[in-house]
Structure 1
Amino acid sequence: MKFAIALFSAPHAPSSRRALRFAQAALDAGHEIVRLFFYQDGVHSASSSVICAQDELDLPSEWRQFVREQRLDAVVCIAAALRRGVLNAEEARRYGRSAASLEAPWELSGLGQLHEAAQTADRLVCFGGP
């Protein structure tokens, strides 16, 4: 089965951890992930500037490692990211900001990427949200 996975919640929310564990289990079971899409506060899971307390699970780091190791298509909604100050180097330059907080393996793109993933996948599974 082909899954598209959308994450709407911040890294400290339980749904972020559930999304990661679901994605890992799906691949372990032989399924395919056509795209991970990070939206709303989920964009913080892709940020390299998030610092977790020493006694907490570092989900942004785990997401980054998982995406790299599995070579997954991981898209961060550009509008949601800009609103929350999550910028790649190109957007940091465009808006005159001194630092970027989004780097490979993440890609900034529009909401159309979520729509395309939903059309390509057998199932769209969403985690978190208002």
Structure 2
Amino acid sequence: MRFALLVTAAPDQEAAFLAWRFADAALAEGHEIVRVFFAGAGVAHGNLLSTPPRDETPLTARWQRLQEEHDIELVVCVAAALRRGVVDDLNARSWELPAANLAVGFLISGLGQLAEAQLEADRLVTFPG
């Protein structure tokens, strides 16, 4: 089965951890993850500078590992990312910001990527915050 995921839960919410666990388990069972789209508070998963407490799961690193091992697209919603200060090099230059902080393996794009993922996948699974 081909899944697309929509994660709107912030990294410190249980739903965010469940999203990663779902993706990891689905891949282990031979399913495909078409794309993971992070929106709302979920864009914080793509923040390179996010540092969770030592007793919490570092979800950004876990998503990056899945991206590396399975070539999954990790897409951060551009509007939500800009609102929350998560920017790539292009947006940092465009908005004259001093630096970019998008984590490696993540990319910034628009809602069209979510719509396309819905068309490509058999199921869209949402993890709300």
Q: TM-score per shorter chain, which class?
A: over 0.9
Aligned to 2:83: 83
Cα displacement (A) at 1:54:
1.6
Aligned to 1:42: 42
**CA separation in 2, counterparts of 1:54 and 1:47?**
17
Identity of aligned residues (%): 45
Cα displacement (A) at 1:103:
3.9
**CA separation in 2, counterparts of 1:47 and 1:70?**
21
Aligned to 2:74: 74
Cα displacement (A) at 1:49:
0.9
2:60 matches 1:60: yes
Aligned to 1:30: 30
Aligned to 1:120: 120
Aligned to 1:102: 102
Aligned residues: 129
Post-superposition Cα deviations, 1:14-44, rounded to whole Å, max 9, x if no partner, equal 0110000000111111111111101101100
Q: Which moved more, 1:96-105 or 1:120-129?
A: 96-105
Unmatched segments (≥5 aa) in structure 1: none
Cα displacement (A) at 1:124:
0.1
**CA separation in 1, counterparts of 2:110 and 2:49?**
22
Q: What does residue range 2-17 of structure 1 map to in structure 2 within 5 Å?
A: 2-17=2-17
Q: Which moved more, 1:79-88 or 1:68-77?
A: 68-77
Cα displacement (A) at 1:67:
1.4
Cα displacement (A) at 1:56:
1.7
Post-superposition Cα deviations, 1:53-103, rounded to whole Å, max 9, x if no partner, equal 122211112112221222111111101100000000111111111111104
**CA separation in 1, counterparts of 2:65 and 2:27?**
15
Q: Is the 8 A contact 1:46 1:64 kept in 2?
A: no
Q: Is the 8 A contact 1:49 1:101 kept in 2?
A: yes
Unmatched segments (≥5 aa) in structure 2: none
Cα displacement (A) at 1:104:
2.9
> For the aligned residues, what is the CA RMSD?
1.0
